[in-house]
C-alpha cells in the first residue's frame, strides 16, 4: 500500500510538472511571436489556438473551445492562455499568504454579456480591452518590443561593423504612443500586484473567454475531483488554488472556475484529489444542462458576430481637408477592419517599415487603439504583405503580393500650391521617383522645369509621396478610403499589364 501511494503521488507530480512546462512553453512561444516572428511564414497558426482569434477567423472556432470545455473544463485556461500564465507566475513569485475559498463574482457574467452585446453592435473596444490574447499582445509589443528591437539592432550594427552581414537582420521599431505605452504599463503593473494577492483574478472575475468556457464547465467529463475519504482537513488544496475555487468545508470544486492548474493535486498530502472522469451515475442535470444551453446561445452570438461581413465606413470626413485614417491592405473596408480587429498589435510588430501604430481616436471611440497607418516616418512597402500574414482574426486578410500591389487603400491629393517646384522654381521629383505605379508622374512646367501630376486611378495610397515630399506643409497628402478598391491596369505595347514601371523601387 505505501508503495502504491508513493507511485500515485509521483504520477501526480509528473502530471503537474508537465502542465507547468507546457504552459511556460506556450507563453514563450507567444512572446517570441510578438517580439520577432509576427508576419513570418504561417504566423497566424500560433494565435489560431487562442479563443477570440479562432472565433473571428473561422466559423467553428467558438464551437471547438466550447466542446473542449464540455470534455475537460477550462483546459484552454490551463496552458494555452499566456496572460493566465503571467498571472500565475506573479502569484507564485509573490509568496503571499494564500486565501481560502471565495465564491465566484457575478461581475464575470455581466462582463461577458457586455462583450457579446458590444461585439454585436460593432463596438470593438470592449472586446479588445478584455480579450486576454490581445491584452498580452499589447503588453509584449508596447513594453518589450522597443527594448528587444534596440538590442537586436545594436548587435546587428556591431556585427556589420566587423564585416559580418545577414547573420542578424534588423528589427523594425514600433511607433511610440505615450498614452498607450503608459496605459499598458499601468495595466500590467496593477495586474501583477493583484495576482500576487489573489492568484489569477483576471481569469476569475473579468476574462470573457474564461466565463464563456465556464458556461460549458459546470460538470465536465474530466475534472479535478475529491476521490475518497482520505482528506485530513489540512487546507493545502484551498491555499494552493490560484482561483480560490476549492471549498474544503463542502468538499466541492467550482468546476466552471477551475483552470486545471493541478496545484491542488500536487499539494494534497493524502492523495484525496485527482484528475478523474465523471461518475457513471451523474445525471445530465448535474452536468449543467442549463448552463450548456446558455453557453450554446453565447457561442452562436460569438460566431454570428465574427462572421458578419461589413463593408461600410465607420468614420467620415466633414470637409475635403479632413483626412480619413488608412487601414492596412487586406482589411477591405473601414467597417470590416474596426469590427474584427482586437488591437493585439501583431500587425504593428510585423510591419518592416514601422508605420502601423495604435489609433487614439482616428477610428472613433469604437476603434480606440486599433491600428492605423502613419506615413510620418515611412510608407507601405510595395513588396510587403506581412501585416496580413500576422493578423489572427481576419481583420486583415492575407493578400498575395500581386494582389496587394494592385489594392488601393487610400488616395493621394497633390496640392500644387505647396510644391517647391512652383514656390521656389527649383527642380524636385521625389514623389514621382518613389511612386511604384507612377500615379504621381512629372509633366512639363515653366522654365524647363517639370512638376508632379497625379493620376488617381493608379494611386495605391501607400504614402510614399507624402513621406518623401520635402515641402512644408506637404504638397502630397494621403487619406484613407472607406472601402478598398483596385487600381486600373495600364497596357504596354505587347498588351501585358504593367503596374510598377520603375526599374528600381527603394522599398
Residue 10 confidence class, pLDDT cut points 50, 70, 90: low
Is 103 domain-assigned?
yes
For residues 2-10, average pLDDT: 54
Report whether pLDDT(318) > 70: no
Is 74 domain-assigned?
yes
Report whether pLDDT(183) > 60: yes
Is 367 domain-assigned?
yes
Taking a C-beta distance cutoff of 8 angstroms, is the pair 229, 279 a contact? no
- Residue 21's pLDDT is 93
Query: What pLDDT digit, counting tens, does each position of 404-440 carry?
Result: 999 999 999 999 999 999 999 999 999 999 999 999 9
Closest by CA to 51, choosing from 310, 298, 338, is 298
Closest by CA to 334, choosing from 320, 323, 348, is 323
In whole angstroms, what is the distance from residue 218 CA to residue 235 CA? 23
- Residue 1's pLDDT is 45
Higher pLDDT, 131 or 43: 131
Is 432 domain-assigned?
yes
Query: What pLDDT digit, counting tens, does each position of 94-151 carry?
Result: 766 667 888 888 889 899 888 888 877 777 788 888 899 999 999 999 999 888 888 8
Average pLDDT, the chain: 82
In whole angstroms, what is the distance from residue 506 CA to residue 150 CA? 24
Is 271 domain-assigned?
yes
Is 408 domain-assigned?
yes
In this structure, the answer to whether residues 385 and 262 fall within a common structural domain is no
Closest by CA to 460, choosing from 504, 399, 394, 370, is 399
Boundary of a domain, candidates 284, 304, 324: 304
- Residue 64's pLDDT is 85
Is 99 domain-assigned?
yes
- Residue 471's pLDDT is 92
Residue 305 confidence class, pLDDT cut points 50, 70, 90: low
Closest by CA to 458, choosing from 506, 499, 496, 416, is 499
Is 144 domain-assigned?
no
In whole angstroms, what is the distance from residue 315 CA to residue 161 CA? 48
In this structure, the answer to whether residues 378 and 475 fall within a common structural domain is yes
* Class of residue 441 by CB neighbours under 10 A (exposed 0-12, middle 13-18, buried 19+): middle
Query: What pLDDT digit, counting tens, does each position of 329-380 carry?
Result: 999 988 888 888 889 999 998 898 889 998 888 887 777 888 999 999 899 9
In whole angstroms, what is the distance from residue 485 CA to residue 332 CA? 8
In this structure, the answer to whether residues 361 and 246 fall within a common structural domain is no
- Residue 496's pLDDT is 36
In whole angstroms, what is the distance from residue 501 CA to residue 90 CA? 56
In this structure, the answer to whether residues 292 and 360 fall within a common structural domain is no
Full DSSP string of 180-232: HHHHHHHHHHHHHHHHHHHSSHIIIII-HHHHHHHTT-SS-SEEEEE-SS---
In whole angstroms, what is the distance from residue 137 CA to residue 19 CA? 22
Give the domain range for residue 296: 2-35+67-115+193-304
Query: What pLDDT digit, counting tens, does each position of 476-502 carry?
Result: 999 999 999 999 876 444 433 343 333
Residue 310 confidence class, pLDDT cut points 50, 70, 90: low
In this structure, the answer to whether residues 241 and 354 fall within a common structural domain is no
In this structure, the answer to whether residues 89 and 18 fall within a common structural domain is yes
Q: What cell was used for 229?
A: 475519504
Report whether pLDDT(290) > 50: yes
Report whether pLDDT(27) > 70: yes
Report whether pLDDT(507) > 50: no
Mark 277-308 as b/e (b = at least 16 C-beta within 10 Å). eeeeeeeeeebbeebbeebeebbebbbebbee
Taking a C-beta distance cutoff of 8 angstroms, is the pair 333, 483 a contact? yes
Q: What is the dihedral of CA 128, 129, 133, 135, to 10 degrees?
A: 130
- Residue 152's pLDDT is 80
Q: What cell was used for 184?
A: 499598458
Closest by CA to 362, choosing from 332, 408, 324, is 324
Report whether pLDDT(465) > 90: yes
Q: Which residues pair with 159 in a beta bridge?
A: none
- Judged by phi (left if over 0) then psi (alpha if -120 to 50, else beta), residue 142 lies in alpha
Query: What pLDDT digit, counting tens, does each position of 243-287 carry?
Result: 889 888 888 888 889 999 988 888 888 778 888 887 654 544 454
Number of domains the chain is built from: 2
Report whether pLDDT(12) > 80: no
- Residue 46's pLDDT is 78
Amino acid at each position: 500500500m505505501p508503495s502504491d501511494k508513493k507511485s500515485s503521488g509521483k504520477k501526480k507530480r509528473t502530471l503537474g510538472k508537465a502542465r507547468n512546462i507546457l504552459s511556460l512553453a506556450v507563453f514563450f512561444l507567444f512572446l517570441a511571436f510578438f517580439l520577432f516572428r509576427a508576419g513570418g511564414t504561417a504566423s497566424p497558426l500560433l494565435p489560431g489556438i487562442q479563443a477570440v482569434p479562432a472565433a473571428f477567423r473561422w466559423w467553428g472556432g467558438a464551437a471547438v473551445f466550447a466542446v473542449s470545455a464540455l470534455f475537460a473544463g477550462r483546459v484552454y485556461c490551463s496552458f494555452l492562455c499566456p496572460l493566465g500564465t503571467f498571472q500565475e507566475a506573479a502569484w507564485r513569485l509573490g509568496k503571499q499568504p494564500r486565501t481560502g475559498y471565495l465564491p465566484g463574482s457575478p461581475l464575470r457574467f455581466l462582463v461577458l454579456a457586455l462583450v457579446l452585446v458590444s461585439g454585436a453592435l460593432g463596438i470593438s473596444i470592449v472586446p479588445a480591452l478584455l480579450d486576454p490574447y490581445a491584452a498580452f499582445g499589447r503588453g509584449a509589443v508596447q513594453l518589450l518590443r522597443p527594448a528587444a528591437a534596440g538590442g537586436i539592432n545594436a548587435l546587428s550594427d556591431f556585427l556589420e561593423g566587423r564585416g559580418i552581414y545577414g547573420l542578424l537582420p534588423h528589427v523594425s521599431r514600433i511607433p511610440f504612443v505615450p498614452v498607450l505605452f503608459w496605459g499598458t504599463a499601468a495595466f500590467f503593473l496593477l495586474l501583477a500586484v493583484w495576482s500576487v494577492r489573489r492568484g489569477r483574478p483576471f481569469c476569475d472575475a473579468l476574462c470573457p473567454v474564461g466565463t464563456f468556457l465556464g458556461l460549458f464547465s459546470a460538470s465536465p467529463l474530466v475534472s479535478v475531483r475529491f476521490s475518497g475519504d482520505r482528506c485530513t482537513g489540512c487546507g493545502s488544496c484551498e491555499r494552493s488554488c490560484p482561483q480560490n475555487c476549492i471549498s474544503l468545508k463542502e468538499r466541492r470544486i467550482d468546476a466552471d472556475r477551475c483552470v486545471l492548474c493541478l496545484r491542488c493535486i500536487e499539494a494534497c498530502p493524502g492523495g484525496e484529489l485527482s484528475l478523474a472522469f465523471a461518475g457513471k451515475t451523474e445525471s445530465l442535470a448535474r452536468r449543467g444542462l442549463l448552463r450548456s444551453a446558455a453557453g450554446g446561445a453565447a457561442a452562436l452570438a460569438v460566431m454570428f458576430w465574427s462572421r458578419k461581413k461589413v463593408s461600410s465606413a465607420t468614420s467620415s470626413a466633414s470637409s475635403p481637408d479632413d483626412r480619413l485614417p488608412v487601414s492596412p491592405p487586406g482589411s477591405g473596408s473601414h467597417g470590416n477592419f474596426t469590427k474584427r480587429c482586437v488591437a493585439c498589435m501583431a500587425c504593428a510588430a510585423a510591419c518592416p517599415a514601422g508605420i502601423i501604430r495604435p489609433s487614439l481616436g482616428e477610428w472613433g471611440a469604437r476603434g480606440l487603439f486599433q491600428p492605423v497607418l502613419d506615413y510620418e516616418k515611412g510608407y507601405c512597402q510595395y513588396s510587403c504583405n506581412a501585416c496580413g500574414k500576422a493578423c489572427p482574426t481576419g481583420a486583415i486578410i492575407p493578400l498575395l503580393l500581386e494582389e496587394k500591389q494592385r489594392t488601393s487603400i487610400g488616395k493621394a491629393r497633390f496640392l500644387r500650391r505647396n510644391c517647391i517646384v512652383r514656390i521656389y522654381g527649383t527642380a524636385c521629383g521625389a514623389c514621382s521617383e518613389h511612386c511604384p505605379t507612377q500615379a504621381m508622374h512629372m509633366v512639363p512646367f515653366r522654365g524647363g522645369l517639370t512638376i508632379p501630376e497625379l493620376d488617381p486611378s493608379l494611386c495605391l495610397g501607400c504614402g510614399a509621396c507624402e513621406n518623401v515630399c520635402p515641402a512644408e506643409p506637404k504638397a502630397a497628402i494621403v487619406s484613407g478610403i472607406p472601402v478598398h478598391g483596385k487600381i486600373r491596369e495600364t497596357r504596354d505595347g505587347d498588351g501585358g499589364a504593367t503596374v510598377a514601371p520603375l526599374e528600381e523601387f527603394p522599398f
